[in-house]
Amino acid sequence: MQIYEYFKNEIINGTYKANTKLPSKRNLAKEYKISLNTVDNAYSKLLEEGFIYSKERQGFFVSDVGELYVLNNKPIHITKEEENIEYDFSYSGVSDEFPYKVFKKISSNIFDNKDILEKVDYQGYLPLRTQISEYLNKSRGFKAEPSQIVISSGSEYLFQIIFKLISGKFGIEDPGYSMLSNIMDTNDIKYEFISVDENGMDLKN
């Protein structure tokens, strides 16, 4: 992820100013003699984390990160180095890097609002869906109306909501989320497995 780290650091440092246009993926791959897929993965991660945004038929541009990201010269403290785990997919525990103080402050503000106890739309809290819609449009150039966004407290419940909103036959990744086919069977949903390769779902076959 050298391309990702390079642009991330340059944006944080202010070398790349807000709204600066980045090189096209094809030109960047050609200049540094790397695969287009490598550049695509790096740009996708930058988009996902809000460092850049896209404009249809124009390319990628640097987001105004403001004071959201501040460089910290303090060494990173690793608490469980002896475990030597490269990838941790467990659901238990929270990283020591989690901003507990910020989370506590935000939580306090939320619980001061009486509206939190009110019944909300079954698709999720509308103001939150509106903010997500605006974020996707700005940072990723993806237009999704709040009515097209569904929020739930868990994946299984979320799928059940989606099945009620969308009728018909579904295609699911193989390999993919193993519980999904079980949920579909329980809800009598028709589906087909679609094989996945290095480029994603193989829709041709």
Domains of the chain: 2-62 (1.10.10.10), 126-201 (no CATH)
Element spanning 191, H or E: strand 191-197
Sequence-separated (6 or more) residues with CB below 8 Å from residue 111:
none
Checking if the pLDDT of 82 tops 70, the result is: no
Checking if the pLDDT of 178 tops 60, the result is: yes
At residue 151, the pLDDT reads 87
Checking if the pLDDT of 83 tops 70, the result is: no
At residue 177, the pLDDT reads 78
At residue 145, the pLDDT reads 92
Residue 172's nearest CA partner among 163, 183, 181 is: 181
Give me Rg for the CA atoms of the chain: 21
Checking if the pLDDT of 186 tops 70, the result is: yes
Please state whether 33 falls in left (phi above 0), alpha (psi between -120 and 50) or beta. left
Q: Which residue has the tokens 């930058």?
A: 46
